[in-house]
Chains A and B, each alone.
Chain A
Amino acid sequence: MYRRGQASAVGAVFLTLIVILLAALIARQIQVQTEVQNIASEVANQRSGEGELSLTLNYTYLTSSLGKINNSDPTCIQSLDGIMCNFDSRLSGGTYTLTLIFSATNPPSYFYNVTTNLYLLSSDIVQATLYENNSGTLIARGTYTLPANSPIVITSHYVNYTIVFSSTSPFRISIDFLNYTFQAYNSTGFYAKITNIGPSLTRLYGLWLLSSTYARRINTSTWLEPGVSQTFSVNLPVNSISEIRAITTTRVNIFRISVKPPTLTAAPGPGGGGANSKFVITSYNQTIAGPVSSKQLFVATVQNTGNASGTVRLEVWNDGNLVNSSQATIPAGGSATMSLYVTLPSTPGTYTWAVKAYNLNTGRYDDEKTFTVSVYGELIKNGDFSQGSAYWTLESPWRIDTSLQLARINLANPGNISASISQNFTVSSAVTLTQLKLYYYMYANPPGQVNSLQLVVSIESGSTTLWSQTINWNKNNNPAQGNYAAQPSIRLAPGTYTLRITALLNAQKNLNQVDIRVDNVSLLATP
C-alpha cells in the first residue's frame, strides 16, 4: 500500500513536470508563430504599399538686368523713381520722329525667355512701333498709341528692340525705368525634386545621377509621405545627365532625361505684349508616343487673353522644322481646342518638340511650350504574318494559316502540346523595351477535357529567359481571345535576342479539338 503510494507520487511528479514543460513549449511555439505572422503581415503591407515616385527638374533661374537706351548712360533709368531720361523728337520729312534702341546691360549667356518692361511718359499723343532687332534686321512686332502726359508700360519679350515714335507735332519721351527679367539656363547645376505620388509611405535611400561616362550617388535616408517631396541640389549641368535613378526599398525608379540647353543668347525670344489679341496655350499633350513614322494626334487648348478677337496659328515644330499647323479665330476671352496630326520621326528616340501660338494679327509668337515625343522602333518583322512564316521559326504543330494570315495550331484529338513560334531580333544599340502586343485566340472542345492551356510569351538572350508572362485559358471563357499588351521595361544591350511564344496544352484523352491562334505581334523599343 505504502509502495503503491510512493509510485503514484513519483509518477505524478514526472507526469506533472512533463506536462508543464510541454505546455510551456507549445505556448512558446504559438507565440513565435504569431510574432512571425505579424512581422510578415507588417512587412508585406509596408512593401506592397510602396508609392510611385515622380521626378521634376528645375534647371532655370530668374535673373534681372538693367536696360540701356542708345548705349547712353543708364543711371537715369535704374529704378522706378521718377528720375527720367528725356528724349526729344526731331522733324524729318514733315513728321516729328524719335528712334530709341533698347538693350540689356548684362544679359545671361543663355536663356529660355525674357520679359522687359519699359516705363515711359509722352508729352503728347504719339504713335509708336516696336521692332525686334534680330541681328541687325528690324522686324515690326507691335504698334502702340501713347497718351499725352500719362505714364504707360510697354512690355515685350526681346533683348534688343527699337521703338520708333512719330507725331505731327513735336514731343518729348521721358523714360523712367527699363528692366529685363530673364529665365536663364543654369549651366552649373539643377534641382531634382522627387515626389511620392503613390498612396503609401515610401523610403528613399539614394539618387543616382548617370550618364554614359559619369555616375554619382547622392545618399539619403528619407521617409516620404504620400504627396511629399525631397529636393536634391546637384552641382552638375542638367544636360550632362541622361538618367536619374531613385532608390526605394524594393524598386529602382529609372527616369530617362534629355535636356537641351537654350540656344537663345542675345537673340530675341518669342512673343510680345500686344494691344489686341494675345494667345496663351493653356493645355496640351505633354508627351506623344508611337512607332516610327506613325501619325499621332496632338491636341492643345489656346486661350485669347487679349481684349480683341484674333486669329491664331498653332504650329508644331521639331527642332526648327515645322511639322504641322492649324488655324482658329478666337474671340477675346475665349478659348479653342485645336487638334492636328503630326508624323513622328523615322528614327526611334526621345525628342523635344515645341508648340507655338502664332498671332496672325500682330505677326508674332505669343506663346511657346515644349513637349516630349517618344518614338518607338518595331523590333519584330512580319508580325502580322502577311509574308507567311518569313522571319519566324515554327515548331510543329504550329503552322501559318494563309487564309486568316496568322500563326495557328488547329488539331483534332490532340495530345499534350509544348511548341513555340519564335523570332530572333537584333539590337544594334542599347534600347528599352516599352511595349509587347499580340492578338491571341484559344479554343478547346470539349473544354472539360483540358487540364491547362496557356500561351507563354518570353524574351530570351541565348538560353537565358530575360522576361516572360503567361496568358491563361480557362474553360469558363472558351474561346479566350483578345489583344494582349505588356510593358517589359527591360533594357537590352546590343546583341541578338529571341521573342518566343509557346503554346502549352495539358489535355485529357477525350479532347476533340484545340485551336490556338496568334497574330499582330509587335515589340516596341526606345533608345
Chain B
Amino acid sequence: MQGQAEVIGAVLLLVIAVALWAIAWNIFYPTYQQVSQRLERERLLAEKGLREYILVERIYLKNGHICAWVTNTGDVQTEIVSLYLNDTLAWSGYIDLKAGSSTEVCTSLTTKATYRVKACSYTNCFEVTDYVP
C-alpha cells in the first residue's frame, strides 16, 4: 500500500508539474513572441534605413512647375513621402520605389533658382543642391 501511494504521489507531482509548465508557457510565450517580433521589426527597419538611398538626379521645370527626378539607388525597396525645396515642404504623398527604379515628383513651385532639395522616405532624408535651368 505504502509503495502504491508513493507511486501515485510521484505521478501526481509529475502531472502537476506538467500542468504548471503548460500554464506558465501560455502566460509567458505570447509575451516572448511579441518582444521577439518587435525586435525583428526593428531589425528590418534599421536594415532598410541603412540600405536605402534616394538620389535626386536633377530638378527642372515641367509645365511651369518644378519637378525632381528621383531614383532609388539603395539596395531595398523604399518610398518617397515628402520633398523639400530649401527646407520648405514642396510635396507630400506616397510613392513606392523599387530598388533601381526612378520617378518624377512635381511640386507647385515655379521659380527658377538654386535649391537645396531634400527627398524623404519614412526612415531617412537625402539632400542635394541643384539648379533649375
Contact = CB atoms under 8 A, between A and B. Distances in A.
A215 interface: yes
A419 to B, nearest CB: 24
In which size bucket is the chain B interface? 35 or more
Interface of A: 2, 5-6, 9-10, 13-14, 17-18, 21, 24-25, 28-29, 32, 35-36, 39-40, 43, 47, 203, 205-206, 208, 210, 212, 215, 217, 221, 245, 247-252, 430, 461, 464, 466-467, 490-495
A467 B69 CA distance: 22
B95 interface: no
B131 A493 contact: yes
Contacts of A28: 36, 39
B98 to A, nearest CB: 12
A114 to B, nearest CB: 38
A24 B32 contact: yes
Given A10-B20, A13-B17, A39-B51, A467 B129 contact: yes
A252 B71 CA distance: 11
Interface of B: 9, 13, 16-17, 20-21, 24-25, 28-29, 31-32, 35-36, 39-40, 42-43, 46-47, 50-51, 53, 55-58, 60, 69, 71, 73-75, 86-87, 100, 102, 112-114, 116, 128-133
A40 B71 contact: no
Which DSSP category, helix, strand, loop or mixed, fits chain A's interface? mixed
B20 A13 contact: yes
B57 A249 contact: no
B32 A249 contact: no
27 contacts: A9-B13, A9-B17, A13-B17, A18-B28, A25-B32, A25-B39, A28-B39, A32-B43, A36-B47, A39-B47, A43-B75, A203-B73, A206-B71, A208-B57, A210-B58, A212-B133, A215-B58, A217-B57, A249-B53, A250-B53, A251-B55, A252-B55, A430-B133, A464-B116, A490-B114, A491-B129, A491-B131
A218 to B, nearest CB: 12
A13 B55 CA distance: 55
Given A36-B43, A464-B86, A205 B32 contact: no
Given A28-B36, A252-B58, A493-B131, A466 B17 contact: no
